[in-house]
Structure 1
């Protein structure tokens, strides 16, 4: 099996359906019922970081954004980040089998590599095929996940064409809190985790670890498939985190965070036989924050992320190391204005057996960036502007910017809009492997670029929220692999800038509830098309979304989530159809304090209707699964 074949196996990117109409119909009575007994007081103003790179009130976030908090993560019970993000209704998932298998997530129809991933502000990416290894990212010790839809390169630089996902881990505070949990369920799946959080004097700490294993499912069930294998492909995953903080005074904070996640997942090799993917993601960050006064703060950080992929037989391996150094300033010249300044350096290092230049299987690249942002909140009007310049050692420079406005029409109504451009640099592998132009002395690939505009209307009365967003994103210089393109002496082809796409659509979202019941929904209608052929991009549906209901009754917390997706095409030629699907998830939890103080019992049923579906042609997905969990917590 060639190195290119292995890489391509890893890449799972790729009128309204009755299923989707059923979900939309289900929403109306659920919203009405929750609104009828709405009695919860307005919550405190939420704070959001990722949209501007600094904390701002959620009401002043002009991008389309959403948050998954700790309670959401525990309630849904997913051990796989891809499933967790899909449950929001914002992402489409394409996966070569069940949890642990190669996964791609599409946000607003954008390629999986066009969604930037941060863990506590540290960029996670691979310089082989590009994008994060979603299946190996940790879910333990997450405090919340912030999601920004739409371009953000003017703030973060390369990668953020489709949006940003930031995983923010837990921070210790107050008296020590200890928690241990175990779970067991279908497919011989089991997990165990432990954590301790707290603070003492000027030191705070958060430590956690988790292990998970599963016998998995049979990936390819068609005996006529050349890769058919009757064996189930299981996986083992373990991760650990240590986050330590030191605050010697009220103005300063120093923090060290180390996160490590390891995944070993079996897959159908070409023999056919089961092979094993080995993936590891490691993040390290040392940061310092200083409040000089009430109006001015600075932050400096040095970080490294390491993404490793290998086959257990040693026939192929690839390791990406990204070192980043940044200095940020947040200054308020007036009460209503903020000036943000940033200087950043990124150093990419790739070790891959398919590289041909810059030494024995290794290549390096640097990227220096400077950025500025201006936020102005003046009564009913919010204005935001960001600009950034990046200089890349391979492809040259990129200038990005964004302009956004928010206008409060009335106390509960706001109209928002923005224009922005973005880019993603070609990966080191795409440029310098035997499939890249630099291997034969040709010019570097161009950066992929995006140009986005969007307009939204929002409603928020403190109890109920609703939003409608219309977006249009044109992505040029898309890097594709083509067998007809010659770049080296191989029989497969090479990478080249050969395509462009238009991603446009409408998103409707809303939530409402009472003190005991909450209903939320996200529905998407989109048209992600190849601009040259007019065909729909692979593995993207015209319509998809989710509806969730959560309530409390008789000492139990009960919930359901309904996910729906329309039909998709598995290939760029739009000749292989993937059917639409509806997935129903159920969860129930109760306190067992009467038996053991601090003990909690939870049940999760995924794909409760046992729907048979595929997100990548030929690869099965799990049927109905049941998981039972116990969690014991001690401390405040």
Structure 2
């Protein structure tokens, strides 16, 4: 959906010479990747004053970050695919998908990511299962955290960085301390970030009232702590080992004023005294080993072992005449142990050279829910009704990729193949059976460099997604209420096929990339309802088929070179068009984003002492929705939002940044926040994006 206004206009290196990892699982220039890969650097995140991942990616074409309100960021949408259909990795370690059973008191979201630890966010658009396996059906989001070398100069060195800032959009203050050191063969670093703020505001004209029609965000106090520590030891010229530890915690509590007076639909269920207390945590411990072997089988070998755990606990308090004062405690936990082994080998022939990448990966994961209801009037408690049983899963994979360079590197061909095996085992007491599935995915792409300024590319790639624990094992008998939900462990993986072509060009006056893509999906998992007498029976089935197609453009023009403007002036433009449909019904998909254009005009002083950027985001209306009455479902209106950012360096080690966002106080909704909303939906203004807001940061490094 946009541009990267913080890249210096006078850089000699084109954006297409940037090095990325997500396109081939190894460091590679974007210009040799036969598909669309986006990279957002730490510098761009800082220059845009982003306080979270959603703000960090708000200018990226074809990418949306979903989630708002009490539970924060939920997941990503990449070219119309969202949820567990987009794989999320941090330093190559898979993150659990968000868990949303539909109940207002339970979410387990991906809201435990600290952007101040990141050196880059890479997005591999389109199916990428040959690289990353299951869940990469629609794309991959790879976040890379900082290493000591990102902050240190060559040789023995010490780095100290201090950052602080304020954001009016959620009244948040932050403080970050970075420490890094290299002494001989040892490298180490620690990054600590503390944030203290409140709820993210909606637009200012929302009604600040109590009840379901409340238009302002519910008041919440939110605080987070994140510690990232790494240490590396260079054993000798050929061996390097590293240890990583990370701990993130987010606590939030507040009054859910929009829930006051809500009618539960049964006698005695008018809710009052509604409030919530939430705690989200994420742990990671990882060990890695790099071996420069120069053997016949491989030149280098990298392996890593990572243990991660994430947990969300939500305390939801309320009072009703029927239940009195109560607390519904809902917690969910994901644990995983992940092993990854990757080898690389370079081969030289008379007319070509080959960069081989191959290896294996394995993971053991567990998911568990723990629900309990507390009667606060008499001190009693009982187990709550959990949606799915505790379950374990195993993933095993083997992969190989060959990146082939021909004609003095003018033609680059990339071919990949991967086999994945998946097993899920529910708790024995559930009485549900084990699930087994596998998938073989392939990829073939080519880049042709016509000259040093122009190249074209094309790629065919496949993706798949194993069914989730929730999709397979949700099994509840509510016959007394007129419905029943039945499990289906026999679900098959979802599959996708993608075709993409593109052209990249760069020269003295600018750079551009234009891509077009067509994605075909089948075996989509969706719920089906039948009648068993007077009882509704719902189960998940592989019935869905869909196609998504579109095009994206991004370009930069150096105004000084093109028109003789002041040195350091530039303009950036990006556009994203997307369309698609359910192939069985012909209806448009709810995840299809409206046509979006982002224009940026900026200036970076040749002295690098100051600069500024004006960014305008324009989105068309979304007035078509899937399987809904078009007359009843609300339209997501078009909007234009203007942002202004600037930086100033009074001395080389000190940077002051400031930003004014939504400068003209536009009232708007992101389309995904209006999914399912109708004219009778209460609290529509509570789904708006923030009005005019501002922020400042101060960075000092020595």
TM-score by length of 1: 0.85
C-alpha distance in 2 between matches for 1:283 and 1:182: 25
Check conservation: 1:524, 1:545, Cα contact below 8 A.
yes
Change (3 A) 1:599 1:340: closer
SS of 2:111's equivalent?
A: helix
The answer to whether the aligner puts 1:603 opposite 2:658 as a matched pair is yes
C-alpha distance in 2 between matches for 1:318 and 1:523: 39
The answer to whether the aligner puts 1:50 opposite 2:22 as a matched pair is yes
Corresponding residue for residue 417 of structure 2: 387
Corresponding residue for residue 441 of structure 2: 400
SS of 1:154's equivalent?
A: helix
Corresponding residue for residue 204 of structure 1: 187
CA shift digits 1:57-106 (9 cap, x unpaired) = 332111211211121111011111012112223313443349x6244432
C-alpha distance in 1 between matches for 2:63 and 2:552: 12
Corresponding residue for residue 146 of structure 1: 122
Corresponding residue for residue 301 of structure 1: 304
SS of 2:81's equivalent?
A: coil
Q: Greater CA deviation, 492-501 or 331-340?
A: 492-501
CA shift digits 1:382-434 (9 cap, x unpaired) = 11111111111124111111110111223311111111110111111221233
The answer to whether the aligner puts 1:316 opposite 2:346 as a matched pair is no
The answer to whether the aligner puts 1:181 opposite 2:181 as a matched pair is no
Corresponding residue for residue 641 of structure 2: 583
Check conservation: 1:82, 1:103, Cα contact below 8 A.
no
Q: Greater CA deviation, 68-77 or 105-114?
A: 105-114
The answer to whether the aligner puts 1:246 opposite 2:222 as a matched pair is no
Check conservation: 1:357, 1:363, Cα contact below 8 A.
no
C-alpha distance in 2 between matches for 1:252 and 1:132: 39
C-alpha distance in 2 between matches for 1:83 and 1:570: 26
Corresponding residue for residue 268 of structure 2: none
SS of 2:276's equivalent?
A: strand
Change (3 A) 1:537 1:284: farther
Q: Could you tell me which of 620, 626, 629 is aligned with 2:694?
A: 626
CA apart distance, 1:358: 13
Q: Greater CA deviation, 74-83 or 505-514?
A: 505-514
CA apart distance, 1:491: 7.5
Check conservation: 1:43, 1:462, Cα contact below 8 A.
no
The answer to whether the aligner puts 1:65 opposite 2:37 as a matched pair is yes
Corresponding residue for residue 111 of structure 1: 82
SS of 1:293's equivalent?
A: coil
SS of 1:577's equivalent?
A: coil
Check conservation: 2:75, 2:98, Cα contact below 8 A.
no
The answer to whether the aligner puts 1:136 opposite 2:108 as a matched pair is no
C-alpha distance in 2 between matches for 1:421 and 1:94: 25
C-alpha distance in 2 between matches for 1:124 and 1:621: 27
CA shift digits 1:537-568 (9 cap, x unpaired) = 22533312423333124942211222222222
Corresponding residue for residue 340 of structure 1: 357
Check conservation: 1:450, 1:474, Cα contact below 8 A.
yes
Change (3 A) 1:498 1:353: farther
Corresponding residue for residue 362 of structure 1: 390
Check conservation: 1:94, 1:539, Cα contact below 8 A.
no
CA apart distance, 1:160: 0.8
Change (3 A) 1:152 1:211: same
C-alpha distance in 2 between matches for 1:262 and 1:367: 28
CA apart distance, 1:39: 6.1
C-alpha distance in 1 between matches for 2:244 and 2:24: 22
Q: Greater CA deviation, 316-325 or 364-373?
A: 316-325
SS of 2:44's equivalent?
A: helix
CA shift digits 1:495-538 (9 cap, x unpaired) = 43342221100111112336623433321111032222222222
The answer to whether the aligner puts 1:284 opposite 2:256 as a matched pair is no
CA shift digits 1:189-213 (9 cap, x unpaired) = 2111111123111111121111212
C-alpha distance in 2 between matches for 1:343 and 1:40: 39
Q: Could you tell me which of 538, 555, 567 is aligned with 2:590?
A: 538
Change (3 A) 1:39 1:539: closer
The answer to whether the aligner puts 1:374 opposite 2:402 as a matched pair is yes
C-alpha distance in 1 between matches for 2:638 and 2:234: 52
Check conservation: 1:219, 1:232, Cα contact below 8 A.
no
C-alpha distance in 2 between matches for 1:481 and 1:156: 27
In structure 2, runs of 5+ residues without a counterpart are 102-106, 263-270, 317-327, 372-382, 424-434, 478-483, 561-566, 675-683
Change (3 A) 1:346 1:518: farther
Change (3 A) 1:309 1:524: same
Corresponding residue for residue 499 of structure 1: 544
SS of 1:429's equivalent?
A: helix
SS of 2:57's equivalent?
A: helix
In structure 1, runs of 5+ residues without a counterpart are 1-19
CA apart distance, 1:620: 2.6
Q: Could you tell me which of 70, 95, 98 is aligned with 1:124?
A: 95
SS of 1:480's equivalent?
A: strand
CA apart distance, 1:132: 9.1
Q: Could you tell me which of 648, 669, 684 is aligned with 1:614?
A: 669
C-alpha distance in 2 between matches for 1:57 and 1:526: 27
CA apart distance, 1:135: 3.2
CA apart distance, 1:287: 0.9
Change (3 A) 1:542 1:185: closer
C-alpha distance in 1 between matches for 2:537 and 2:230: 45
CA apart distance, 1:296: 0.7
C-alpha distance in 1 between matches for 2:624 and 2:332: 27
SS of 1:83's equivalent?
A: helix
Check conservation: 2:97, 2:110, Cα contact below 8 A.
no
Check conservation: 1:353, 1:361, Cα contact below 8 A.
no
Corresponding residue for residue 226 of structure 1: 212
Corresponding residue for residue 368 of structure 2: 351
C-alpha distance in 1 between matches for 2:167 and 2:488: 54
SS of 1:611's equivalent?
A: coil
Please show how residues 563-582 of structure 1 align to structure 2 within 5 Å: 563-568=617-622, 572=626, 573=628, 574=630, 575-582=633-640
The answer to whether the aligner puts 1:548 opposite 2:600 as a matched pair is yes
SS of 2:471's equivalent?
A: helix
The answer to whether the aligner puts 1:467 opposite 2:513 as a matched pair is yes
Change (3 A) 1:631 1:352: same
CA shift digits 1:561-585 (9 cap, x unpaired) = 2222222259532522111222222
The answer to whether the aligner puts 1:214 opposite 2:197 as a matched pair is yes
